[in-house]
């Protein structure tokens, strides 16, 4: 008998989240130890704060900052204004999550000492193969 | 040397077989474990006896372990996931398990039932 696991990935790894955002095209990303205020499209300081920030100048003239706030449990909450959700919609979020999942899977495997074997992509799904030399 | 195969779904979530080596990937988010398939005796009477014994003994019991040493042929029933019984029959149970793992990983990626018949 075999069993399988379905895991709903959540953003917990800062390094991998930044890596995923870079893969989505944002090369200038601020990472702060303490949360910083986001800036709105009028260059106004918003009450919302975040540890990971993509400044509006890197998104678009009429955009607000995008941020990721680290919660007490280590997970990150995405902060995207309603205006920016037109560009950063659910499809964008899904793509980001898939890139994050790949990055965090690779990192987890690396930490465990697994050897990377291959990557296959079929119809939008990605399959990663590793070997565990210890077992 | 164990092989670990991790499938990233289109929605960014993960699917993978539950093995000793894959446990740490369950820490990446809320995880749900489900049955994927069964390796059963191919012969009808042996299969019924196998199911009966497995119904009354625990999976980690000596009785369950003894069942796994029965002589083949064995079949792979993926009803809980792909919904088919694989076409092959295997005299060695480990060969059946290897085929089961290969099929499931292929099914997780492609979502189609290759090399199967009911």
The answer to whether residues B47 and B84 belong to one domain is yes
Summarised one tens digit per residue, pLDDT across range B53-75 is: 988 998 888 888 888 899 989 99
A70: helix, strand or coil: strand
Give CA–CA dist A82/A78, Å, rounded.
12
Give CA–CA dist B111/A123, Å, rounded.
10
Domain spans in chain A, listed from the N-terminal domain onward = 14-131
Task: Report CA torsion sign: A51, A56, A62, A66.
Answer: negative
Q: Which residues are within 8 A (CB) of B66 and not within 5 positions of it... i.e. 6 or more apart?
A: none
Number of domains composing chain B: 2
Q: What ipTM goes with this model? A: 0.91
Give CA–CA dist B113/B79, Å, rounded.
12
The answer to whether residues B71 and B47 belong to one domain is yes
Instruction: Give the chain B residue nearest A6 (alpha carbons).
Output: B15
Write down the residue that tokens 């099914």 correspond to. B107
For residue B20, list chain A residues with Cβ-Cβ distance below 8 A.
135
What's this model's pTM, rounded to 2 decimal places? 0.89
Q: Measured in whole angstroms, how far is the alpha carbon of residue A87 from the centre of its chain?
A: 16
Q: How far is A8 from chain B (nearest CA, A)?
A: 5
Residue B112 has pLDDT above 70, yes or no: no
Of the pLDDT bands very low, low, confident and very high (cuts 50, 70, 90), residue B76 is very high
Distances (CA, A) of B54 to A99, B3, B59, B63: 42, 28, 7, 8
The answer to whether residues B11 and B64 belong to one domain is no
The answer to whether residues B41 and B7 belong to one domain is no
The answer to whether residues B57 and B110 belong to one domain is yes
For residue A105, list chain B residues with Cβ-Cβ distance below 8 A.
6, 8, 14, 25, 28
The answer to whether residues B85 and B103 belong to one domain is yes
Of the pLDDT bands very low, low, confident and very high (cuts 50, 70, 90), residue B117 is very low
Please give the structure tokens belonging to residue A128.
């990663």
Residue A6 has pLDDT above 70, yes or no: yes
pLDDT score at A1: 63
Give CA–CA dist A114/A106, Å, rounded.
9
Q: Which domain holds residue B2?
A: 1-33
Residue A48 has pLDDT above 90, yes or no: yes
The mean pLDDT of A58-76, rounded to a whole number, is 93
């Amino acid at each position: 008998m075999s069993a399988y696991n379905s895991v709903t990935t959540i953003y917990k790894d800062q390094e991998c989240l930044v890596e995923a955002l870079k893969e989505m095209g944002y090369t200038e990303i601020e990472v702060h130890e303490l949360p910083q205020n986001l800036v709105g499209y009028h260059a106004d300081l918003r009450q919302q704060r975040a540890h990971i920030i993509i400044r509006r100048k890197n998104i678009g003239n009429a955009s607000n900052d995008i941020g990721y706030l680290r919660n007490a449990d280590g997970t990150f909450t995405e902060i995207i204004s309603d205006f920016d959700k037109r560009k950063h919609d659910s499809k964008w979020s899904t793509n980001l999550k898939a890139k994050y999942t790949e990055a965090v899977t690779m990192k987890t495997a690396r930490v465990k000492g697994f050897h990377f074997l291959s990557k296959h992509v079929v119809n939008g799904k990605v399959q990663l193969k590793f070997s565990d030399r210890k077992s | 040397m164990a092989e670990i195969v991790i499938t990233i779904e289109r929605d960014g979530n993960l699917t993978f077989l539950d093995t000793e080596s894959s446990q740490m990937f369950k820490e990446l988010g809320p995880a749900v474990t489900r049955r994927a398939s069964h390796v059963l005796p191919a012969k009808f009477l042996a299969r019924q006896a196998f199911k009966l014994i497995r119904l009354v003994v625990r999976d980690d019991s000596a009785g369950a372990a003894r069942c796994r040493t029965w002589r083949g042929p064995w079949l792979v029933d993926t009803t809980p996931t792909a919904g088919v019984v694989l076409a092959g029959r295997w005299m060695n149970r480990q060969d059946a398990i290897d085929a089961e793992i290969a099929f499931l990983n292929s099914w997780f990626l492609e979502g189609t039932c290759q090399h199967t018949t009911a």
